[in-house]
Structure 1
Amino acid sequence: MKRQRLIIIAVIAVVVAVFFASGAHETLTLDNLKAEQVRFQAWFAEAPFTVAGGFFVLYVIMAALSLPGATLMTLLGGALFGLGWGLLIISFASSLGATLAFLIARTLARNLVEQRFSRQLESVNRGIAREGAFYLFTLRLIPLFPFFVINLVLGLTRMRTWTFYWVSQLGMLPGTAVYVNAGRELGELESLGGILSPGLIVSFALIGIFPLLARRGVDYAKRRRMARQYGKPASFDYDIVVIGAGSAGLVASYIGTALKAKVALVERDRMGGDCLNTGCVPSKALIRVARLAQEVRDAKRFGIETKEPRIDFAAVMDHVHQAVRDVEPHDSAERYRHLGVEVIQGEARLLTPWEVRVGQRVLTTRHVIIATGARPKVPELPGLDEIEVLTSDNLWQLESLPERLVVLGGGSIGCELGQSFSRLGSRVTLVEMAPQLLPREDRDIAAQLALRMENEGVRLYLGARALRVESGPSHGDAGKVLVIERDGEQGTQTERVVFDRLLVAVGREAVVEGLGLEALNIETRADGTLDVDETLRSLHPNVWACGDVAGPYQLTHASAHQAWHATVNALFGEIKRFAVDYRNLPAVTFTEPEVARVGLNEREARARGVEYEVTRYDLGELDRAIADGRTQGFIKVLTVPGKDRLLGVSIVGHGAGELLGEFTLAMTQGIGLNKLLGTIHPYPTFSEAAKATAGVWKNAHKPERVLSWLARYFAWRRRGGPLEEVRESLRGRSDKA
């Protein structure tokens, strides 16, 4: 890489040297350029169709082949032809060239464009399906991607060629006019002092503010179109109506009322949503008890004799429910009413983008934020509907510990609950379709968790597909059976797993039914989440979504992160909207060992083609981990090659979630490993692992040449330094005398 950079720098230096040596720079004076412009305009006056036609053809070729330089050509056209002729020529040339690029992509380069611009293609397809030609018009006015990308990507859609042409012709016209006018002002420049002329300043100011003006114009057009279609109320009861009082809805309501907006919060079930009632709080309470039971079993290795712990499952569940009750006041309707939020119990349904029906009431609001969350996904598996299935929703109503528990799914929820029930005394079998646990994590990270779970007695079936559930009187004492298949050395093998209870943890699906979205043409993505843009805005400019219902991350802190953006964008979006940034979003699986990550892991970096270096630090080298007997696991850091800038951190081990905080802060604030290494950490603590990891990176990137010079310097000093050299010199002369 360094050699390639040096070659590129050398080539650039040679080109620059040749440029100046040839005297070419002397031709780029204002006088010379004006003289060439005068000759060109004289030529244009003599043969207008030849000159204009040649420029037209050249522009079409550049646009059709997606060659760089369209902006420069547009400015040049304004300087050479003026505003009238320049706008006419370039407007039609750019639209025709774009259409040819569109056809080239459609007929010749489909596979290349699909691979190179897959992310943009997915986004554009959603927009086209949602808004049709109007979406292309908005892309031309406010390009989310460069124009050549729009040309190529639209070629892979089902849009008609004529529609693409006329929308492009119309949509690019305002921007083209701004750039042609700027070129005209440059062409009329008589001296360098004219750069400060009002006309030129205004022209270039228009280039800067045109995207903002265009965005405002598009938003205004959308709102007018929506108002005509649905009938906008003359006044509103609320600034925001939030639907759903889970993590996202609560944060959105809190922020809205803190900003002095009038907010209504509608909840049809329980305040706090999944996180409080069936997710984070009860699961972590259960994990705490299960971890304590395992610590009792492991006490013998520290010299403490104990018996196998006796589990009172009813008391365990009482502890879980008490934890929910203790946290409940934080999310209560009383608290939010005290904050100024109007909390309404009932089923919400959108009548129009501004009207929400709750029972017999119709609430009018300037903005709606949908935060209805998600629920456990239950697969269509033959025989599953004949038994009572456990999910993370109804699990907490168990009154007795299952003797034989099968967990279907090896993601975070499946691993956390599977390990916990095993530690509480269930015989647990976990079935996962992927070849590893936690399929989104690196294989070496997941392997650490798999090793621990198997050592604790959890039976793992990885790379296994569930075929059906068998139950009924014919199975006798065998209870119920899950039939699975997996590939092995002997080919595909079918196995039967006996269970008393089956816990399904194969993912979650967004809750969107009953909201009236179909009547408003608000669609869902392939994964069932609401189709919103990067600012969390839906098809309608005043309808937003956040949390699990919007995806892509079903995490409580991700929901809160989105809720801030949805609320601020709703209240102030007409001035400024903020896109959600997920780059430094941390995630933790609360198993033992814990698994935590922020940023890229190796799996994602390879998939995206991102170059990286890996630094690994084993927790078995950490003094505190050795003293505590918690040496399993490691920290793996991905950095930019040759630099200390963090791309991502994965941790597996005790307290991984707590260790991740320092790395998350470092990535968010742009702090590199060198500064982590220079930060004092208390000894002996697990937090020292962050500094130790930075030390491993530094050791691998130590300046060998500087160190060799230092070695020579210190050797020279050991020999006596300069004074000793003088003495040796004098002694030598004396001997000769």
Structure 2
Amino acid sequence: MKQIKTDVLVIGAGSGGLSVAAGASQMGADVILLEGHKMGGDCLNYGCVPSKALIASGKAAYGQSHSDGYGVANVVPQVDYAAAKDHIRDVIAQIEPVDSQERFEGFGVNVIREFGHFISDTEVQAGDTVISARRIVIATGSSPFVPPIDGIDTVPYLTNETLWDLRDKPEHLLIIGGGPIGMEMAQAHVRLGSKVTVIEGAKALGKDDPEMAAIVLDNLRSEGVEIVEDAKASRIEGSDGEVTVHSEDGRRFTGSHLLVAVGRKANTDNLKLDVAGVETTRSGVKVDASLRTTNKRVYAIGDAAGGLQFTHVAGYHAGVIIRSMLFGLPSKAKTSHIPWATYTDPELAQVGLTEAQAKDEHGDRLEVVRFHYEHNDRAIAERKTSGLIKVMVVKGRPVGVSIAGHQAGELINLWALVLANKMKMSQVAAMVAPYPTIGEVNKRAAGAYFSPRLFDSDLVKRVVGLVQRFIP
């Protein structure tokens, strides 16, 4: 057995682990990175990247069949599903070098391609190597959660990890789960020519503002996605090419393929965390505000930490713990400024509190500012007028923003900046946005906050009247 020592041991080469390894190594720490599967983790290989590439294929097909409103004749798109999957593989291949073993070895990181598990509170075994580390980072990410539905182990099903290997277009895709992954894949597949039924046990996009979610869901239904809510799956039966999902209320749904997209679980089962004194919760590794576990030498970040499961959160967590590990400075992770987006068409984005959350927290002090896309000239020109932005404001400061509409995922960036820096609505209103852009939606929302204060104020009108009378 080979034994080595290091300053920082990172377990997992996904977004968070790679960020820690690169940052710590380039700042002078001795770093070892363990990865027993693919460099780049879930996001590159099974999640964000391939899903957005497939969404792009669906968008191209949809554009061909819905162009007559722009003066261009509609055509029936000739979809080659296997070629769309080749497109996905090419996209991954273009990004892979950024996450490659060779690149990180160039930073000075010792990359070991093995899974690891704890053998003491400071030691991890990976293959035939025992690594002793001053600081250990658990960055193992998450995997698709497959619920224990009766019969699910007897039928073929897909997850976000296996969907990308499918080369033949599903004739009728059943999706259990109406969250972001389920709805994104539903729209992409219906645009590529599949029939799609989404089976959701509660409400589709239920973690988002209901008013904003309705804008997205209405459009998906108009494109042909069947969305069945309050249909908790109780039993599954069938075989390759014909799968039937039974719901608790007696409804049945039969399709050619089944995609399970009900959520994710932290990858912690094989780490032997109890050996290191690291406690877990139902959602992942137990951490404090500084992302330290119950073993103070061990940190957990990203999906493994059991909080918000987004790639950009893992990257943010990496910055938080680097400050603590390398410089000994206090550093805590926050969630109030973390944005997220669902990449349907229209998109759905959120940062900070939703309207309901803001009402609960701030009561009568809350003001909700609204601006509709139908009043944005660029949205009119693009025929993308189905959309709304809501800004939750308390004493002149935004505490949350919800956007449903064209480029919502891009628009939310400004508000993430505003919330992160505790900026005021006056600072957003002072911004000059180029005309005509979708980005004007943000400025117009800020304008909607100030308009009644300026145009409906008797005091303002009296002041203006006096100025006009007495100042030459």
| Alignment TM-score, normalising by the size of structure 2 | 0.96
1:677 aligns with 2:440: no
C-alpha separation between the residues in 2 aligned to 1:316 and 1:472?
26
Give 1:592's aligned residue. Answer: 345
Say which SS state the counterpart of residue 701 (structure 1) adopts.
helix
Greater shift in the superposed pair: 692-701 or 267-276: 692-701
Query: Which of 231, 234, 245 lines up with 2:13 in the alignment?
Result: 245
C-alpha separation between the residues in 2 aligned to 1:591 and 1:597?
14
C-alpha separation between the residues in 2 aligned to 1:386 and 1:270?
28
Match of 2:349, as an amino acid? A
Query: Which of 556, 561, 564 lines up with 2:319 in the alignment?
Result: 564
Match of 1:526, as an amino acid? R
Shift of 1:520: 2.5
Give 1:497's aligned residue. Answer: 253
1:452 aligns with 2:219: yes
Give 1:484's aligned residue. Answer: 247
Match of 2:266, as an amino acid? A
Shift of 1:607: 4.5
1:658 aligns with 2:428: no
Larger proportion of helix: 1
Q: CA 1:256–1:722 in 2, change beyond 3 Å: closer, same or farther?
A: closer
C-alpha separation between the residues in 1 aligned to 2:471 and 2:255?
84
Give 2:71's aligned residue. Answer: 303
Shift of 1:494: 2.1
User: 1:406–1:430: 8 Å Cα contact kept in structure 2?
Assistant: yes
Q: How high is the sequence identity, in percent, across the aligned residues?
A: 37
Q: How does 1:324-723 map to 2 (within 5 A)?
A: 324-435=92-203, 437-471=204-238, 479-485=242-248, 493-527=249-283, 529-573=284-328, 576-608=329-361, 611-640=365-394, 643-702=395-454, 704-710=457-463, 712-713=465-466, 717=469
User: 1:542–1:570: 8 Å Cα contact kept in structure 2?
Assistant: no
Q: How does 1:203-218 map to 2 (within 5 A)?
A: none
Query: Which of 317, 335, 350 lines up with 2:85 in the alignment?
Result: 317
User: 1:596–1:652: 8 Å Cα contact kept in structure 2?
Assistant: yes
User: 1:378–1:504: 8 Å Cα contact kept in structure 2?
Assistant: yes
Shift of 1:606: 3.8
Give 2:60's aligned residue. Answer: 292
Residue by residue, what CA displacement relative to the aligned partner does 1:2-25 show, whole Å, maximum 9, x if unpaired?
xxxxxxxxxxxxxxxxxxxxxxxx
Match of 2:294, as an amino acid? L
User: 2:237–2:243: 8 Å Cα contact kept in structure 1?
Assistant: yes
User: 1:544–1:570: 8 Å Cα contact kept in structure 2?
Assistant: no
Shift of 1:408: 0.7
> Larger RCO: Structure 1 or Structure 2 (Cα < 8 Å, ≥ 6 residues apart)?
2
C-alpha separation between the residues in 1 aligned to 2:24 and 2:161?
29
C-alpha separation between the residues in 2 aligned to 1:461 and 1:712?
59
Shift of 1:711: 5.4
Shift of 1:581: 1.4
Match of 1:450, as an amino acid? L
Shift of 1:624: 0.7
Say which SS state the counterpart of residue 280 (structure 2) adopts.
coil
Q: CA 1:472–1:438 in 2, change beyond 3 Å: closer, same or farther?
A: closer
Shift of 1:472: 5.3
User: 2:373–2:386: 8 Å Cα contact kept in structure 1?
Assistant: yes
User: 1:236–1:366: 8 Å Cα contact kept in structure 2?
Assistant: no
Give 1:144's aligned residue. Answer: none
Residue by residue, what CA displacement relative to the aligned partner does 1:79-132 show, whole Å, maximum 9, x if unpaired?
xxxxxxxxxxxxxxxxxxxxxxxxxxxxxxxxxxxxxxxxxxxxxxxxxxxxxx
Q: How does 1:86-235 map to 2 (within 5 A)?
A: none
Q: CA 1:331–1:694 in 2, change beyond 3 Å: closer, same or farther?
A: same
Structure 1 gap ranges (5+): 1-234, 486-492, 724-737
Shift of 1:317: 0.4
User: 1:353–1:368: 8 Å Cα contact kept in structure 2?
Assistant: no
Larger proportion of strand: 2
C-alpha separation between the residues in 2 aligned to 1:690 and 1:347?
46
C-alpha separation between the residues in 2 aligned to 1:391 and 1:288?
20
Residue by residue, what CA displacement relative to the aligned partner does 1:327-373 show, whole Å, maximum 9, x if unpaired?
00000000000011110011211111221111111111111111111
Shift of 1:483: 0.9
Bigger CA radius of gyration: 1
User: 1:275–1:281: 8 Å Cα contact kept in structure 2?
Assistant: yes
Give the count of matched residue pairs: 468
Match of 2:209, as an amino acid? D
C-alpha separation between the residues in 2 aligned to 1:647 and 1:347?
42
Shift of 1:679: 1.6
C-alpha separation between the residues in 2 aligned to 1:605 and 1:711?
35
Q: CA 1:302–1:364 in 2, change beyond 3 Å: closer, same or farther?
A: same
Say which SS state the counterpart of residue 616 (structure 1) adopts.
strand
